[in-house]
Amino acid sequence: MLDSKISRRSFIKASTATAVLATAGTASFNEWSNQYVKASESTEIKEIPSTCNGCSSKCGIIGHVKNGRLWKLSGHPDHPYSKGKLCARGHGYATLVYSQDRITEPLKRVGEGKFEPISWEQAYKEIAERLNKIIEEHGPRAISLTEDPRATGKFYSPRFIQALGSPNYYTHHVVCSNSRDAGFLHTLGTTATSADISSSKYIMFIGRSYGDAIRPSSVQSLAEAKDSGAKIVIVDPRLNNTGNLATEWLAIRPGTDLALVLAMSHVLVKENLHDIEFLNNYSIGFEEYANELDKYTPVWAEELTGISADVITRIAIDMGKAKPKSLIEQSWRGAFGCNYENSTETGRAVALFNAMLGNLQQKGGSIFGGKPKLGNLDSKKHPNPQEPDFKKAGYEEFPLAYYNNGVATIVAKEAMEGKMKAAIFYHSNAALGYGNPKYMKEALSKLDLVVAIDVQMSETALLADYILPDVSYIERDELIEELSGKTPGIALRQKIVDKVHPKTKPIDVIYKELAEACGVGQYFNFTLDELNEAMLAPTGVTYKELRKKGTIMFPDKAIELGVMPELKTPSKKVEFYSDKFKEAGFSPVVKWVEPKVSPKQDSFRLITGKQAIHSHTQTANIPILMQITKDYDLERIWMNPARARELGIKDGDLVEVKSSEATSTVHVKVTEKVHPEAIFVPSHYGITSNYQKTAKGVGFGYMEHVPFDFEAWSGSGNIQEVIVKVRKVKG
Ligand SMILES: Nc1nc2c(c(=O)[nH]1)N[C@H]1C(S)=C(S)[C@@H](COP(=O)(O)OP(=O)(O)OC[C@H]3O[C@@H](n4cnc5c(=O)[nH]c(N)nc54)[C@H](O)[C@@H]3O)O[C@H]1N2
Ligand SMILES: Nc1nc2c(c(=O)[nH]1)N[C@H]1C(S)=C(S)[C@@H](COP(=O)(O)OP(=O)(O)OC[C@H]3O[C@@H](n4cnc5c(=O)[nH]c(N)nc54)[C@H](O)[C@@H]3O)O[C@H]1N2
Ligand code: SF4
Ligand SMILES: [Mo]
């Protein structure tokens, strides 16, 4: 029950006071329970459809409201990600609305970690003055805005920074999927395909865990595939929780997935199991790639990956035979989203392997989803800001990175160099999560202006000159969310309860008012409702209807499987040979690339990943989620027993983890489920903000050990190019 303030007892008291009091002390359980049910029934429960903000999936939710307070959530049955179910984070994160640790009013920094309240008007005025001064002195290239792109921000944030003349809009993908996105984009013309899992016969997951990095409907689809006899292979240096549904686990040496995919591609060609007709019709450059593949034999890959040549050959042949209903799932962050120097090339090789299976836009294969056709504001009445005539910072260094997302950590690098002067962070804990926190702190301290817009005192907020308090997602309306997929649709986040803290404001209002203070209010001369109405216009759905239903799918607009769309690559085909890569100074065909660093006999590689009960740093301060961590010691790092024995370490021991960047102490879980070369660090502990009373002091700050770095292809953070030594300490 979410509504912690109203306990069962006080609730019953309030609603059926006389009846309950009259029976108190003498009532049987049945009587008591009947009274309770009656009391519940007599209170009106409003059900408001909206969307979760517990992670980037933004599943559909139904908020149940009793006595004006959020009472409980359930999964929206029509939303394609929830399909009636929510994960633990979805339920738990909703308690944020009543958290004691929220930011309740605008704050101005008056010293290290010290803040004073400031009025909204004064905060806007001071921020605007400082932004305009920076623009006057250094030009608009010296200002930036970074976020996790969710519904409203996706439209308002780039527009806001562009209204000020700057293209410097960035997203968290630099530590998420920048590498995969770049690899897929220049190969298939999209940063990610989706997977028709439930109809697939042979599914390989390379560092993607449906069982940990949960989206409820993905787990359901995988269970359906399993029930219909699909082979499910997990490639992961640790046995993740998708293991419950898998037929095979390949405990790969971390950082060597590229070698595995190259060798499997080699086998497809050698065994003539690639889809030659598909490749002739829909691809360019296959000959060059096939020549390059010649040397990547399974025996060569065995040496690098630790997976036997026989197993590589067997799986490649079986996948080739099962085509087109076989696929490597497109992955997200795990193996090649942002981790290694070879991550972009791994992304490219995975996209190409799927093309060799001819599974693109096929049942049981990789899908280019359809998008709903939405409208826009009338640009005569609501002028768009002019597009700056220069590219965003980072583009020159990383032209292959997906431009819309950019390379967010370039802001920190340029702050160090004195080129960047201002950074706005909305819905982002960049200071702790995007790069080495020591580096990020130093970089942010060099800026003339840092603004954080958050709901709690994150590490990034602590480094800000001004903190602007957003309302929580339970208390706000947002921009319509496009749902792309086999069947496109739309979803709306809407206010479930009135705002709890009167001085908080929703982001659309914050941007509008700040733009007005900066003198560019003309670009925000509309309300969120007007914008939503304009977006809905071509769909035939009314705003009222959308508010009532929350999620609306368009089955008549479903994509037709078996029909290849024209791709958005320069050649409009799958590019086995990429001129874009060549122009950027890289090999036009995929080649093997070594990871930057490798552990020795006495050291380990740090790897990381999700736990089903947390989302990055944003859930660490949620008591009912953090309690699960505490109850099960989930913050422990994982070590293989063979290595633990060598080091005299036993399960549960306190150990010291030392890298080139930091030293930490943490308890260890000794388990066969992790590769001997790797230490697995669950995400996302090691909160340092004193204001997050529940989160502070639990576990281990992964990013503290990660050297600040950019992968050469996509600019992503290389966050697993980290070597550590571990020793037992007394404790
Ligand atoms: N519970 C939970 N779910 C989430 C999120 C969350 O924070 N918490 N966040 C959402 C977001 S933003 C994202 S990007 C997705 C991420 O979704 P995933 O990419 O599936 O999640 P991760 O747990 O980061 O990584 C998956 C697996 O990659 C493995 N891995 C690490 N290194 C290697 C390697 O070198 N090779 C191979 N083959 N595997 C490796 C890890 O052991 C881990 O089990 O999850 C989304 N869902
Ligand atoms: N060790 C380790 N590190 C990782 C990962 C990992 O697997 N392991 N995964 C990486 C991945 S995949 C990603 S995507 C990144 C994510 O990195 P981020 O996108 O920075 O995610 P969080 O760390 O959760 O920080 C989100 C911030 O937004 C705030 N917030 C939450 N809700 C709201 C809201 O409604 N309004 C506003 N204004 N703010 C809000 C939160 O309080 C928090 O400060 O982390 C990466 N870092
Ligand atoms: S996967 Fe869980 S946390 Fe993420 S949006 Fe869905 S219910 Fe919320
Ligand atoms: Mo992510």
Q: Quick one: pLDDT at residue 730? A: 82
Ligand 1, atom 11, lies closest to the CA of 56
Q: Cβ(59) to ligand 3 under 6 A?
A: yes
Cβ contacts of 530 within 8 Å, gap of 6 or more: 377
Q: Cβ(214) to ligand 3 under 6 A?
A: yes
What is the CA(533)–ligand 2 centre distance, in A?
30
CA 308 vs CA 293, 384, 594, 729: distances in Å: 18, 57, 19, 37
Q: What is the mean pLDDT of residues 328-338?
A: 97
- What is the model's pTM? 0.95
Ligand 2 pocket test: which of 429, 504, 614 has the largest number of ligand atoms within 8 Å of its C-beta? 429
Strand duo 169-171 + 143-147: pairing: parallel
The string of pLDDT tens digits covering residues 254-289 is 999 999 999 999 999 999 999 999 999 999 999 999
Cβ contacts of 631 within 8 Å, gap of 6 or more: none
**Per-residue confidence band for 40, with pLDDT thresholds at 50, 70 and 90:** low
The residue assigned the tokens 């034999």 is: 297
Amino acid at 79: H
DSSP E strand boundaries for 274-404: 283-284, 326-328, 366-367
CATH 2.20.25.90 fits 1-102+474-499+541-558, yes or no: yes
Rounded distance, CA 478 to CA 57, Å? Answer: 15
- Structural domain boundaries of the chain? 1-102+474-499+541-558, 107-176+392-473+500-540, 179-369+570-583, 604-728
Backbone angles phi, psi at 116, to 5 degrees: -125, 150
Rounded distance, CA 66 to CA 310, Å? Answer: 60
Give the helix/strand (H/E) hosting 265: helix 257-270
Q: Are 141 and 468 in contact (CB under 8 A)?
A: no
The string of pLDDT tens digits covering residues 404-446 is 999 999 999 999 999 999 999 999 999 999 999 999 999 999 9
Sign of CA dihedral 217, 218, 219, 220: positive
**Per-residue confidence band for 31, with pLDDT thresholds at 50, 70 and 90:** confident
CA 27 vs CA 18, 39, 328, 472: distances in Å: 13, 16, 60, 41
Sign of CA dihedral 123, 128, 130, 131: positive
Q: Are 20 and 13 in contact (CB under 8 A)?
A: yes
Rounded distance, CA 730 to CA 660, Å? Answer: 22
Rounded distance, CA 32 to CA 23, Å? Answer: 8
Please give the share of the chain, as a percent, with pLDDT higher than 70.
95
- Using DSSP, state whether 195 is helix, strand or coil: strand
Q: What is the mean pLDDT of residues 57-77?
A: 96
Rounded distance, CA 238 to CA 232, Å? Answer: 16
Q: Quick one: pLDDT at residue 24? A: 41
What is the CA(456)–ligand 1 centre distance, in A?
25
User: Counting runs of H as helices and runs of E as strands, what totals does the chain give?
Assistant: 23, 27
CATH class of 604-728: mainly beta
Amino acid at 64: H
Task: Pick the atom of ligand 1 nearest to 680's CA.
Answer: 42
Q: Quick one: pLDDT at residue 27? A: 58
For residue 594, how far is the Cα from the chain centroid? Answer: 26
The residue assigned the tokens 């700050």 is: 701
Rounded distance, CA 175 to CA 440, Å? Answer: 14
Which residue from 635, 610, 609, 654 is spatially nearest to 694, judged by alpha carbons? 635
Rounded distance, CA 466 to CA 124, Å? Answer: 9
Cβ contacts of 545 within 8 Å, gap of 6 or more: 552
Q: Are 487 and 538 in contact (CB under 8 A)?
A: no
- Using DSSP, state whether 143 is helix, strand or coil: strand
Q: Which residues of 115-135 are buried (b: 16+ CB within 10 A; e: fewer)?
A: beebebeebbebbbebbbebb
Task: Pick the atom of ligand 3 nearest to 88's CA.
Answer: 2
Ligand 2 pocket test: which of 53, 103, 172, 622 has the largest number of ligand atoms within 8 Å of its C-beta? 172
Strand duo 574-575 + 654-658: pairing: unpaired
- Residue by residue, DSSP assigns 479-529 as PPEEE-BSS-EEE----SS--SSTT-B-HHHHHHHHHHHHT-GGGG-S-HH
What is the CA(528)–ligand 3 centre distance, in A?
24
Q: Quick one: pLDDT at residue 23? A: 38
Q: Tokens representing 343?
A: 């991550």
What is the CA(4)–ligand 2 centre distance, in A?
26
Q: Cβ(91) to ligand 3 under 6 A?
A: no
Domain 107-176+392-473+500-540, second-level architecture: 3-Layer(aba) Sandwich (3.40)
Compute how many other C-beta atoms are within 10 angstroms of the C-beta atom of residue 22.
Answer: 10
Q: Tokens representing 613?
A: 């009960």
Q: Quick one: pLDDT at residue 429? A: 98
For residue 680, how far is the Cα from the chain centroid? Answer: 19
User: In this model, does residue 573 exceed pLDDT 60?
Assistant: yes
Rounded distance, CA 198 to CA 200, Å? Answer: 6
Q: Among the listed ranges 32-46, 126-140, 330-344, which one has the minimum average pLDDT value?
A: 32-46
Which residue from 395, 406, 443, 392 is spatially nearest to 421, judged by alpha carbons? 443
Q: Tokens representing 70?
A: 């959020």
Ligand 3, atom 3, lies closest to the CA of 54
Q: Tokens representing 164?
A: 């000020």
Task: Pick the atom of ligand 2 nearest to 703's CA.
Answer: 1
Q: Tokens representing 116?
A: 């004073």
What is the CA(210)–ligand 1 centre distance, in A?
9
Strand duo 663-670 + 45-51: pairing: unpaired
Task: Pick the atom of ligand 1 nearest to 210's CA.
Answer: 20
Q: Are 346 and 713 in contact (CB under 8 A)?
A: no
Ligand 1, atom 35, lies closest to the CA of 254
Task: Pick the atom of ligand 2 nearest to 56's CA.
Answer: 14
Cβ contacts of 455 within 8 Å, gap of 6 or more: 96, 102, 103, 469, 470, 471, 472
Q: Quick one: pLDDT at residue 43? A: 80
Backbone angles phi, psi at 314, to 5 degrees: -60, -45
Please give the share of the chain, as a percent, with pLDDT higher than 90.
93
- For the CA of 610, the nearest ligand: 1
Which residue from 181, 204, 209 is spatially nearest to 329, judged by alpha carbons? 204
Q: Cβ(209) to ligand 1 under 6 A?
A: yes
- For the CA of 205, the nearest ligand: 1
Q: Cβ(172) to ligand 2 under 6 A?
A: yes
CA 562 vs CA 398, 481, 488: distances in Å: 35, 27, 17
CA 541 vs CA 489, 536, 538, 548, 554: distances in Å: 11, 6, 8, 11, 10
Q: Tokens representing 705?
A: 């050990």
For residue 190, how far is the Cα from the chain centroid? Answer: 17
Q: Are 388 and 140 in contact (CB under 8 A)?
A: yes
Q: What is the mean pLDDT of residues 601-610?
A: 98
Q: Cβ(54) to ligand 1 under 6 A?
A: no
Rounded distance, CA 650 to CA 669, Å? Answer: 8
Q: Cβ(90) to ligand 3 under 6 A?
A: yes
Number of residues in the chain:
731
Q: Cβ(702) to ligand 2 under 6 A?
A: yes
Ligand 3, atom 5, lies closest to the CA of 58
The dihedral region occupied by 467, where left means phi > 0, alpha psi between -120 and 50, and beta the remainder, is: beta
Q: Cβ(240) to ligand 2 under 6 A?
A: no
What is the CA(609)–ligand 1 centre distance, in A?
5
The string of pLDDT tens digits covering residues 285-310 is 999 999 999 999 999 999 999 999 99
Q: Among the listed ranges 32-36, 382-386, 646-650, which one has the minimum average pLDDT value?
A: 32-36
Rounded distance, CA 528 to CA 382, Å? Answer: 13
Ligand 3, atom 6, lies closest to the CA of 59
Q: Tokens representing 282?
A: 């829909």
Q: Quick one: pLDDT at residue 22? A: 36
The string of pLDDT tens digits covering residues 506-522 is 999 999 999 999 999 99
The residue assigned the tokens 């994509």 is: 559
Rounded distance, CA 571 to CA 410, Å? Answer: 30
Q: Indicate the average pLDDT of the chain.
A: 94
The string of pLDDT tens digits covering residues 98-108 is 999 999 999 99
CATH 3.40.228.10 fits 179-369+570-583, yes or no: yes
Q: Cβ(254) to ligand 1 under 6 A?
A: yes
Which residue from 453, 458, 491, 459 is spatially nearest to 471, judged by alpha carbons? 453
What is the CA(548)–ligand 2 centre distance, in A?
30
Strand duo 481-483 + 60-66: pairing: unpaired
Q: Quick one: pLDDT at residue 550? A: 98
Q: Are 84 and 77 in contact (CB under 8 A)?
A: yes
Task: Pick the atom of ligand 1 nearest to 254's CA.
Answer: 35
Which of 121 and 36 is assigned the larger pLDDT? 121
